Structure 1
Amino acid sequence: MLTIGKDQLARFREPPRRAFEAEMVAHLAAFSPPLFKTLGEAQMLVVVRTGMAAAESYGFDLRGPVRMYLELMLLFGSRFDTDPQYPWFHELLTASPDAPQMQRAGRIHARVTEYRRQVAGPEDEYTFAALRRILNVAEQPLEYPPTHIVAEMSRQFAAVYPEKVAHVGEQALANLIREGVETARDLKSPSARGEALMSVLMFAFGHGCADDPLYPWIASTIRDGMVPEPARWPVRLEKKAITWLKHVLGDLPRRG
């Protein structure tokens, strides 16, 4: 559950930064046990430090707002602030920069609460159901004519996660898919297979997933698949993504 916390007025510089980092690692481990299990303590510390720096760049240095920012990373991806799926994050993070931190954080918290009510559902049941559908799609061939990939991927996304697609909107979804296509091409995979896969991963894990510290297996698989055959990373990444989803979803109760 997204929180700001009772100690929200204490700055994370006091107690010392390292103590706060350790506290946040423990907090995020409890916030998302499946994700923490896949990352481990050392990598979660990398996530915490990345998030603290990002939060500071938006003027957040109180414990509550910083903790909220870290929780948002786990919910929406480390680069949620620039994700085309969630343009309202950037608007809220940059609006009224001189306003009190708690006031700004409160606006974000209220917006996220409403988003999660509509998109995640009670106890995240819509999200878990969507991830299971994405797993089913990932186990099938992802091949579309390049000229139709935006329309076809939009249709697939609407089928696996209708609640999110309805909230995100057609234009934002198309922008995300185009970013996935461009990212795949930049990674030397000008194929419908790679472009579709990258779009799926961005939809599921956030548009910065290719180098997100929350999902280091994505970056390492792409890097290892670039040599000697650049086109091989989509095949390897599909397998890794399926394994990761099965691992995370394996112990979750089935909600439909």
Structure 2
Amino acid sequence: MLVIRKSQVKVFEQVAAQRFEAGLLDHLRTFFPEQAAALGTAQLGKVVRYGLQRAESRGLRTERGLYLYLALMFMLGSAFDEDPQLAWMPPLQPPAPPPAEEPQPAAPSTEPTEAVPTPAAVPPPEETEPAPPPETPDTRIVPLYEQAMAFLDRTAGPDNEFLRHTLSVLRQPGVFEGLPAAPSFGHRVLLLLQTLAPEKYKALGEGALRALVRSGYEAAKYHGVTTESGMMNYLALAFVLGSGFDRDPLYPWAAAVLTDPALADPAQRGAALRETALKALEKCLPAGSRRAEQSAVALAKPAKSYRRIVEEVPDGFSPPVTPAPPRTADG
């Protein structure tokens, strides 16, 4: 009888995880080639490991779930499930069931007791449909992913045509100064976002965008970007790349600029961030150039643990039987 120790199982699981990670890297290089090339081998590996940690912390365990989560990171930003502008996105964790009510003891009766009649025979309960399996993050991510793809088609365009328009507007030298007069800085930022991406502005709604502006405004101040044009550029990047772009391993250039001690002057830091961002966006757009093909492959991945070390035996499969050697006259 074959006995496998726990330490051996862990080694096998590590090997399975490494094999899975290698396949995921190949998938990302195939369907996000511009982003993978811009990141380079070492940084792409960091992104994948970071993404797997985030996905597992949200309860995802299957190959399909992890492929979908990493794809959403590449298209919406690594912090997509914490982004205030994506308030429409349901959480991956299913809602907790309501607590069961404890039965209250009946109050003692002061009435005289009477004989209790014998109850009539109770018919057997009717057969009911079996209860559906409980929701898990791995089941919830599939409809969430499909909603996200419809959202990207509507806001970035099926071929990213709206996103390319956004980049061309953002590249214009007077994009911030040419905005119409508005009663406050917040109103001017909303006008900017509407100018950059009218389809996305309409899809998100002002409530989500105001939440984005509030969080982005505080983040820009934290990073020392305090000029009006610098803040507008920061908020535009949060709108396009995701609110967590400043710490996103997909955009390491952002953290490099925002933490550069040589750029202590707010105007210099804001200008450097804008220049670096435009160069990076010229090489690749965040929504992915092969979105539909990628989706078909990722959704077809098995809903099984990516750490599994033994494949399931298909129904009806019988292992081959090795015939016994013929017996000799001696034996």
Return the TM-score normalized by structure 2: 0.65
* Alignment partners' CA distance in 1, 2:222 and 2:38: 28
* Alignment partners' CA distance in 2, 1:15 and 1:128: 41
User: Higher relative contact order by CA 8 Å / sep ≥ 6: 1 or 2?
Assistant: 2
| Residue equivalent to 2:162 | 126
| Residue equivalent to 2:41 | 41
Residues 1-256 of structure 1: matches in 2 within 5 Å?
16-89=16-89, 91-96=90-95, 99-136=135-172, 139-140=173-174, 142=176, 148-225=184-261, 228-248=264-284
Q: Specify the code of the residue in structure 2 equivalent to 1:181.
A: Y
* Alignment partners' CA distance in 1, 2:195 and 2:225: 26
Name the SS of the counterpart of 1:156 in structure 2. Answer: helix
* Alignment partners' CA distance in 2, 1:65 and 1:102: 5
**Is contact 1:51-1:70 (8 Å) kept?**
yes
Would the alpha carbon gap of residues 39 and 118 (structure 1) be closer, same or farther in structure 2, given more than 3 Å must change?
A: same
Name the SS of the counterpart of 1:85 in structure 2. Answer: helix
Name the SS of the counterpart of 1:99 in structure 2. Answer: coil
Q: Specify the code of the residue in structure 2 equivalent to 1:142.
A: F
**Is contact 1:62-1:101 (8 Å) kept?**
no
Deviations 1:53-82 (A, max 9, x none): 111111101011001000000110000011
Q: Indicate the larger mover: 16-25 or 154-163.
A: 16-25
**Is contact 1:225-1:236 (8 Å) kept?**
no
Name the SS of the counterpart of 2:84 in structure 1. Answer: coil
Gaps of 5+ in 1: 1-12
Name the % identity: 30
Q: Specify the code of the residue in structure 1 equivalent to 2:94.
A: A
Deviation at 1:231, TM superposition (A): 4.6
* Alignment partners' CA distance in 2, 1:229 and 1:110: 44
**Is contact 2:72-2:145 (8 Å) kept?**
no
* Alignment partners' CA distance in 2, 1:229 and 1:152: 24
**Is contact 2:226-2:266 (8 Å) kept?**
no
Would the alpha carbon gap of residues 162 and 141 (structure 1) be closer, same or farther in structure 2, given more than 3 Å must change?
A: closer
* Alignment partners' CA distance in 2, 1:205 and 1:22: 26
Between structures 1 and 2, the one with greater helix share: 1
Return the TM-score normalized by structure 1: 0.82
Q: How many residues align?
A: 235
* Alignment partners' CA distance in 2, 1:169 and 1:226: 38
Deviation at 1:196, TM superposition (A): 1.0
**Is contact 2:233-2:274 (8 Å) kept?**
yes
Deviation at 1:219, TM superposition (A): 0.5
Would the alpha carbon gap of residues 85 and 47 (structure 1) be closer, same or farther in structure 2, given more than 3 Å must change?
A: same
Q: Specify the code of the residue in structure 2 equivalent to 1:162.
A: P
**Is contact 2:238-2:244 (8 Å) kept?**
yes
- Deviating runs (4+, > 4 A) in structure 1? 143-147, 225-228
Deviations 1:110-168 (A, max 9, x none): 211321232232223222332332233xx336358997222112112112211111111
Name the SS of the counterpart of 2:220 in structure 1. Answer: helix
